[in-house]
Structure 1
Amino acid sequence: MRTGKGTRVSSEATDTVLRELLPADPRSAREARQVLRSAVADRPEWSGWAERAELAVTELVTNAVVHAGTDIELRVRLRPTSLRVEVEDGTTTMPARRTHSATAATGRGLHLLASSVDRWDVEPREGGKTVWFELGDPMPSSDAGSDPTPAEEGVEVRLLRMPLLMHWAWQEHAAALLREYLLVRLDEDPAVLEQHAEASAALGLLYEQVPAPVVAEDPEAVMASAVEPAVTADVVALRVPRSAVAHFETLDLLLRRARELAEDGALLGASTQPEAAELRAWVCHEVLRQAGGDGPTGWAGDHDPGAVVREVTGIEPAFRALAATGAAVVATDEASVVVAVSPAAVAFLGYDDEADLLGRRVTLVIPPRFHQAHVAGTTLHHTNGRSVLLGVSVTVPVVRADGTEAPVRMSIEPQLLADDLRAFVARFDPVA
């Protein structure tokens, strides 16, 4: 059996056991594959498992590096009819299968693991956890019979008026943003690996405990299901281990920094929608405040859609040209700010001039009960290209200047303009 320089090999009863201590370094996944490959190299009865085992151990070690940021112990246990691999790290946060959309760039790791092995599970340890998988016949844990890890003291946090739909979309966006931030910063700042692990742990606690709303995929059904009050919870009870409270400060910090890089064009992904950024700040601050003894403060979502967030004089001519049509058209930029309104749209919406709409958030003309749906849909489209409502015609209400609602038949199309400007162009006709 060929092994690496740091690999310890021992025999325990009928088992051959290899142990390797790996650092929290991206290269550790490759080293783990080498250990596993050398372990099965001289045994033809295990050769059929090699490819599946290498794929699975790569996923487990990569997850430990990215989400734990601690030293890792790799254990490979071999028998003639079975193989068991254990990866132990120093964080108590349990892995969870995420249900991101099919176009998501992240979140499929445990699904990949489950499809590659015969069995897998996670076992808590004092000050950490072990994730293991098996191929072939079942084998006992290396710590079978040990006492369970006592539950850590936790902080009870109450999130009042929790916007579930917005949180669901923000989760996927935040995970992608954190991953890209890690890749950009890792060479210059090795400490970002540990920070990323803390932020991911906080994000994971929210993912595990904040319920996800049930949202349909059919465009017309989306408009019926993704509305208030069904997408908001009066209260979400969150249990945060005392040792993980500070991770929410790290999560807030890293996502603020990542958003700044995205706005400067230093990341491939789009920046965070303002409402989603407000949600991140509110959730993180609620955990920190309540852990310090303060009472809960409910989500307010105080964003004023009528406020000017972009000066009209700064709107590029390529955007403004979209208004040169006889149809009713409202166009927004990637931040959902109105950058063009045709005369027909101004008249139908009951405004005196396009200046009453330009530079404002498009939520000004969206009924409040649909605000979460708009923010979530925009966030997911920017994150992974999800486009349930793009390019299809649906009947929706719009809010007019006097506060009344009017039904319209609307279709929204993304457009790439000159100078890499991106617009979302909504064309609509009144419904009698």
Structure 2
Amino acid sequence: MREVLSTTRADDLLEPAQLATSELVTNAVVHAGTEIGIRILAVGRALRVEITDGSTRLPVKRMWSATAGTGRGLHVVDQSSERWDVEAGPRGKTVWFEIGHLPRALQPNRSGASPVDAEHRESTVQVILLDMPLLMHRAWQEHAATLLREFLLYTLEADPAVLDDHAAASDALSILDEQLPRPTLPVDPEELMANLVEPTVTGRQVILDVPTSSVPHFAVLDDVLSRAGAAAQDGLLLGPPTQPEIREMRQWLCAEVTAQAAGPATPRPWRARTDARQPSDKDAALGPTHRDLVPLEEPVIATDQRYVIVAATPPILRFLGYRDETELLGRRILVLIPQRYHQAHIAGTTFHATNGRDVLLDRWITVPVVRADGSEVPVELRVEPRRLTEDDWIFVATFRVG
């Protein structure tokens, strides 16, 4: 790009042109997994760049959180160019952008473009998703994209074939992102608490149309994210490990597509597994290790980064109706959260771990909690993250109780 623009003496276009080109090439590398062609037309202060690949899946702008670590490519292209679009064909696509206006004689003849007509349109299979957790899915999309990108960078040098796996996994992830409804994420805490509850965050029956060629990509998505999650768990990636419910949702989603595409199969509804005691060789040391971190005379509960309870003080135990801390230590914090808020909690903590979204942190909020006997009671609480070491955090919830 630098060489081309130096010949037309339009060096001031270099920065936006390089930026937009690098974004489109990166998209083609990580999402198409095919050979890539680059064509540059430059005359005076006019420029057109075309990136061609062998994938028929069209690029889509991601509407992710402002703090997300990925998903901004097309927004960057939008801001760096005056216009951009995509021309699709039966065997691939060309994504182009323009700055300025080329002379009419050099403008592409778009009549030669090959739209995907009915004759070449790929067949699809219909997949029925029952009780689809839409809010968890939205949080998972950002988390999964982050893990895929980091895992690609981590393994690429040792295993170049991971590019093909990444392209297949990205294809499956995009199909879900484009077709599943997206719950709105309010910024106001009260609006967030009021709206993101069951049943509004669950799709009772969602129809998914999956291109036949993309069906195997869902098994690849499950496998690659399983390996990426293990790498994150071992501290090899910057992204956070996957929460159990998010992992199980992914496995269910991919299995439903594979099973229903293989032939007649009765759809299995999603059933969340919650309040599971997480196996850990640290369980015996949870209480003594963390008890010194919280004031015993105040009603406080603390969790680790897995959202497993690691400390509970006597005042909060009495308020919740538990005899001693052993009844709570090692259990997911979900045991204290009403079922209708489970999706919101899992999604919120996933967003926070992935991109730092912290709408409900460091402020007093009123929420219902579940006591030992199953009853609910409203409380005021404030959750503060506290760093233990460079890599370890705990979340300390201080309660106001009567």
Give the corresponding residue for 2:19: 55
Identity of aligned residues (%): 51
CA contact (8 A) 2:50 2:96 kept: yes
- 1:79 deviates by 4.1
For 1:287 and 1:273, locate their aligned partners in 2 and report how far apart those are by CA, in whole Å: 22
Give the corresponding residue for 1:30: none
Shift of the 167–272 alpha-carbon distance from structure 1 to 2, 3 Å rule, reads same
**Which one of 304, 316, 325 corresponds to residue 333 of structure 1?**
304
For 2:108 and 2:343, locate their aligned partners in 1 and report how far apart those are by CA, in whole Å: 46
Shift of the 187–81 alpha-carbon distance from structure 1 to 2, 3 Å rule, reads closer
Give the corresponding residue for 1:9: none
- 1:308 deviates by 5.6
Q: Secondary structure at the match of 1:427?
A: strand
Shift of the 143–397 alpha-carbon distance from structure 1 to 2, 3 Å rule, reads same
- Give the TM-score normalised by the residue count of structure 2: 0.94
- 1:83 deviates by 2.1
Deviation digits for residues 34-86 of structure 1 (CA, Å, limit 9, x no counterpart): xx222222223x44433221211111111111111211011122345632111
AA in 2 matched with 1:421: D
CA contact (8 A) 2:300 2:316 kept: yes
- 1:128 deviates by 1.3
**Which one of 28, 44, 47 corresponds to residue 64 of structure 1?**
28
Whether 1:421 and 2:376 are equivalent positions in the alignment is no
Give the corresponding residue for 1:220: 190
- 1:309 deviates by 4.0
Deviation digits for residues 72-104 of structure 1 (CA, Å, limit 9, x no counterpart): 011122345632111011112211111121111
Give the corresponding residue for 1:18: none
Supply the RMSD in Å over aligned alpha carbons. Answer: 1.8
Q: Secondary structure at the match of 1:322?
A: coil
For 2:76 and 2:256, locate their aligned partners in 1 and report how far apart those are by CA, in whole Å: 34
Whether 1:351 and 2:351 are equivalent positions in the alignment is no
CA contact (8 A) 1:406 1:430 kept: no
Corresponding pairs, count = 394
CA contact (8 A) 1:159 1:296 kept: yes
Aligned ranges 1:73-152 → 2 under 5 Å: 73-80=37-44, 82-137=46-101, 140-149=107-116, 150-152=120-122
Which ranges of structure 2 fall in alignment gaps of 5 or more residues?
A: none
- 1:191 deviates by 0.5
Give the corresponding residue for 1:6: none
- 1:324 deviates by 4.4
- 1:277 deviates by 0.6
AA in 2 matched with 1:228: E
Which deviates more, 138-147 or 237-246?
A: 138-147
Shift of the 399–368 alpha-carbon distance from structure 1 to 2, 3 Å rule, reads same
AA in 2 matched with 1:52: P
Whether 1:388 and 2:359 are equivalent positions in the alignment is yes
For 1:291 and 1:306, locate their aligned partners in 2 and report how far apart those are by CA, in whole Å: 32
- 1:143 deviates by 4.9
Give the corresponding residue for 1:37: 2
AA in 2 matched with 1:398: V
Give the corresponding residue for 2:206: 236
- 1:418 deviates by 4.9
Which ranges of structure 1 fall in alignment gaps of 5 or more residues?
A: 1-35
Shift of the 349–114 alpha-carbon distance from structure 1 to 2, 3 Å rule, reads same
